[in-house]
Structure 1
Amino acid sequence: MAAAAAAAAATLERLEALACPAVALLVPLEPAEALRLLCTPSARRLALLEWVCSRVHPPLAARLEALQDGPKDARLRELAKLGAELMLCRADDVALVEGTAPPEQQLEFIRDLLDAAPPPGEEDGGSPKSRRSALHRTTRFLHEVLETPEGVAALSPPSPPPLPAFDDYGSPPPRRPRPSGPELEAALGATRQRLELLEAQSLEAVDQLGGTAAEVTRLVGGARHRAMETRVATLQQRFGGVPEAGGPPQD
């Protein structure tokens, strides 16, 4: 207890150095009295804690002012919420804020708040020392969390549910079988008929062209139209088996 009393006296001096109005007329105090002030529930202790928290997070002062006439528990919850945001305690750790937790825990909580508070004249952003201290506390907190199975479980994402067996999705759609036997013969026969029809239509067109060329040559005559008839004959031979239409013009 003597060590806790000495730590309380040192903490009270830090509050006095920051010009905390709640302790302005109390310093110096005997270590035992300092321990009683900082670790026992009282209106003065709540006032100094609210002052330190508002210095760490200035917007908190307006919320505490709005709750001034309300129940004390609402103000304690606001302080615990800030402590949780700073990773100094849990959001429901009202005993630590109220002053009923073990003295060592209370003093550590107040010292951590003082480390996060900016020194006089640097209220806007905090000193580099205070920022380094906050980073150190956060790192230490994470190490403590990761050393416990509960902390690891809280930070680990839940395992995904097992995928259902393939049969739960139903069987894959059957592949379309390739045609064989009679079905294949029918498909090939239809293809041959289509090709024969196209060939017949082409030969008929060439035959009509040959007849038209012969008629033109007969009516007009001349070497120029004989060349046309020769070209038509070549086309007829290429498609095969088409009899020549007409004959050479008679002079």
Structure 2
Amino acid sequence: MAGVSKEKQLVRHVYAALQAASCPFVEDLYLQEADTMLQLLCVPSQHRTDILAWICSSINPNFANSKAMSVRAKDPDMLTKEMAVLGQELMLCKASDLGLIRGNVSPYRQLQFLEQLLTLIPGCNKPAGRRIDEEILLNELFAAENVPQLTQMLNPTLDPWPAHIKALLKGTKSSHKQSREEAADVAALLQATQSALEKLQSECEFLNSEAQSPGVCSPSSLRVVAGDLHQLMATFSHVYETDLRAYCSRDPPSFSTETDVFQRVRLLLLACNTELDMLNALSDTSASMNEDVNQLQTQPHYWSRGEKHTLPDQLEEVSRRSRRLLSMLHT
């Protein structure tokens, strides 16, 4: 039942998309039942082939040129093959999926294919769902056969509207009602999202604090700081020589080129890192040895009398045999 319901929803959507795209083969049709729409779009027929050919020509205008049409008239299967090739170029099917083009596969697969094709028609940007075009409704209301009924609108004894006009009016009202419901749902979702964001911001107090934790000093950061300091000092010396010396009676400051302090600090940091690596390796080695000892004590590795035994069991067996041998010697 769920699959049938999904097919009916999809066929209504595809049929509404064909109407929105102004397909000439559905303009004069006023289908209301999903079963009738499935019969039109999913059962092999010339009408279905014409609809599919119109969609292909709307996507690719060269598909409907006169030369190609004359060739297709001589070979009826040529049109089916060319539509399959176009579907392959659009990466929607394979060139060998002729059953899909003829309508010999499952209705749901056909409807998916039609829906994907309709999204590629230029200018067809109608949203998903059943939509009633107001212009089509007005054209239908003011058609010649409906003028007498429009003239009698002021008469309280107005005869009922035709069934297809009632369906159009009902569809327009339900569409507006659905739009209002969707807008209310979106507003509620936005409000809930805003509340969740405000709660999250109140819980993350660190986002509002300006104080930042001091960075950890490392050898790489120390080298960067020393390099920046040397660069600033060299820049200042250059600026002093070119711009400030004429306005200052003092000699330019002399900067020592000794780097022993930085070298000693670097060596100490390297020694500290080496010691930390050694401690880390020692910890890993200890854990590995502990695991090996546990395996020796808990897992059987030693054969005795056709069976494997653990090391403690084997030592106990050897000790027992030794005690028994010593007791036999003393007696």
Q: Structure 1 length normalisation: TM-score?
A: 0.46
Structure number having the greater helix percentage: 2
Greater radius of gyration (CA): 1
